[in-house]
Amino acid sequence: MHYFSAKQFRDQFPAIHSQTIFLDSAATSLKPSLMSQASDDYYRYSGSSVYRGQSPEALTTTKNYELGRNRAAQLINAQSDKNIIWTRGTTESINLITQSYFRNNLAPNDEIIVSELEHHSNLLPWIILAQQTGAKIIKWPVNKHYTLDIESLKPRLSSRTKVVVITQMSNVTGFQPDIAQITLLAHSVGALIVVDGAQGVVHCPIDVSEMDIDFYAFSAHKLYGPTGLGVCYGKTELLAKMPPWHGGGKMLTEVNFEHFTPAPVPYCFEAGTPNIAGVIAFSAALEWLDTIDLPQSETYCCALIEYAYQQLKQLPGFICYSQPNSPLLAFNFAGIHFSDLGLLLTEQKIALRYGQHCAQPLMDAMAISGCLRISVMPYNDQQDIDKFINAVKFALSILNDEDE
């Protein structure tokens, strides 16, 4: 049964009771007690690795580890848990996709369409790939509202297009592109689609099967899980064409000094001892998350940001960059440098992000050098926003006095 109670949700997160007001969930989420407990239990009470032992404890650990893979597959409705590869995060997942699949399937003058919204983690791997293969990066620019027009994608698509690269949700504006429509357009010219789900998965888990997505990547730490763990999803037929990227233990079935036989997918991509505690802890977080009414919790988050927006827009010089109905708010104040305001807010124990947000091309398109951003999860409440607003007013009073 799915339900959502803001108070009960908040009570699951010990860190929310810190003196610091945490408004930086787009960077990483706070962690529920049950996730931390699952990790702690593994380190305290288990001495087993996975796949390597036959003791009851080792077999149980392996079973629990694979249960995490199954839950990750269910979250995004993958065709099979064998479509899920564990990585260190979204960044490594995208690098795996570029190097293991596309490096062998691109030729000079092939084209890679990358949107101007992308986080550096979904831009730099493609630039590196283009340099390696001679392929060309084609920019899909944002419009004057800092969103993407589907109509502006169409003329950029051609028989030379091999892949369209898109975020599920911008980490600056909160804009959510129409992934289903973009996928249809990409496939219409024979191109594949790669979706960066790092921001979007926690707010709106995507159905990769229904949308016919080719590759999808996200990180555990933004979804109430541990750091250092990510998911790389790929269609079965695509993963079958990918050679192993890392070599080492567990990713092979036979080896001599001339050759080796890779293990089946996905294990051929998971060389070495994996992040066992991380996977088990993430599995516990996903099990808990499956009891939450996610649409209702998302509505709650967006209402908090709308409340913050309504308060901030009453202040002179307020400039908003983010989209309505978003769980984050990016902003500046005219005549105030974002770093000056950000520093004064952090001194008042407000945890938020300010700078370029690893999205320099988008900053350039917006004609700014940076901005501030608050982002919430359902563990935040109106009192958090009120304290933030009061801190902004106090900081502005100091900065405006300095300008006089």
DSSP states along 231-268: EEEE-HHHHTTPPPSS-STTSEEEE-SS-EEEPSTTGG
Please list the alpha-helical segments (H only) found in 14-102.
Answer: 33-45, 56-76, 90-96
Tell me how far apart the alpha carbons of residues 202 and 296 are, in angstroms, rounded to a whole number.
Answer: 13
Catalogue the active-site residues.
358
Extract the tokens encoding 376.
């919430």
Q: Which residues pair with 161 in a beta bridge?
A: 111
Nearest 5°: the CA angle 24, 213, 363 is 40
Tell me how far apart the alpha carbons of residues 142 and 126 are, in angstroms, rounded to a whole number.
Answer: 19
Q: Which residues pair with 24 in a beta bridge?
A: 375
Q: Which of 119, 90, 124, 24 shows the shortest CA–CA distance to 345?
A: 24
Give the Å distances, CA to CA, from 146 to 113, 140, 183: 17, 12, 21
Cα dihedral 143, 144, 146, 150 sign: negative
Q: Is the backbone of residue 317 left (phi > 0), alpha (psi -120 to 50) or beta?
A: left
Fill in the DSSP letter of residue 336: B
Give the end-to-end CA distance of the chain in Å, rounded to a whole number: 58
**Cβ 273 vs Cβ 58: under 8 Å:** no
Helix (H, G, I), strand (E, B) or coil at 292: strand
DSSP E strands, 84-211: 84-87, 111-115, 136-140, 161-167, 192-196
Extract the tokens encoding 272.
């070495």
Extract the tokens encoding 162.
């091999």
Q: Which of 22, 288, 69 shows the shortest CA–CA distance to 297?
A: 288
Which run of H or of E encompasses 282?
helix 276-289
